[in-house]
Amino acid sequence: MNKRKKDYYELLGITLVLLSIWSSTILAQFSSNLNLYKFSNITYVLIYFFTFHNYKYFSFASMFVIGLISDSISGIPFGTSSLAYIAIYKIAVFQETIKLRTNFFAEWIALGMALFIAYTVILIVLYQSAATFELQVYIYNFIGTFILYPFIWLALKLLLIKLSDRKVND
C-alpha cells in the first residue's frame, strides 16, 4: 500500500463522513422515541480513522467545511462542529506523525483523548452561547463512541483490505 491510492479510493473517506452526518439527521427524525442517534457519533470515529490513515482529502479546510454543513443540518451554533472536527483532525495528525500505529490500544486511548477534547469544546461553545443541552446525553455519546471504535475500526480495515485486494486482482 505504499503506492498512492487512486482518487476514487481517497473519496471513500469523505463520502462516508458526509453519509454519517446525513444519516444521523435522518435517524434523529425517525427515531425520536428511541433517540438512538444520541448514543454514538460515527462521524468523529470516521474523521479520526481516515485522518490517521493519511487520506488526502482530509485536511484542515475540509474539516471546517464539513463542520459547517453539519452545523447547518443539526441546528447547533455555527462553527461548533468545525471546532470539534478540527480538534479530532489535529490530534489524529499528531498521533500519526509520532507513529502511534504500532499499538491499537494506544490508538484507541488517543481517540478517547480526542473525543474528550472535542466534546469539551462543544460543551463550552454551547454553554457560552446559552443554548440548552443535556450533559448526560453528551456523556453517553462519548462513552458509546469510544466503545464503538474497535468495531468500526475492524469493519473499515476489512473493507479497505477487500478493496485493495480487488484493485490488485483487476
The one-digit pLDDT tens for each residue of the chain (170 residues) are: 444 545 566 677 777 787 777 766 555 555 555 555 567 788 898 899 888 877 777 888 888 988 888 888 877 888 888 999 999 999 988 887 886 556 788 889 989 999 999 999 989 998 898 878 888 888 998 999 999 999 999 998 898 888 777 665 65
**CA–CA distance, 119 with 135 (Å, rounded to integer):** 10
Say how many residues make up the chain: 170
Spatial CB neighbours of 132, under 8 Å, sequence gap ≥ 6: none
pTM: 0.81
SS3 31: coil
Q: Distances in Å between the alpha carbon of 74 and those of 40, 99, 113? A: 15, 35, 24
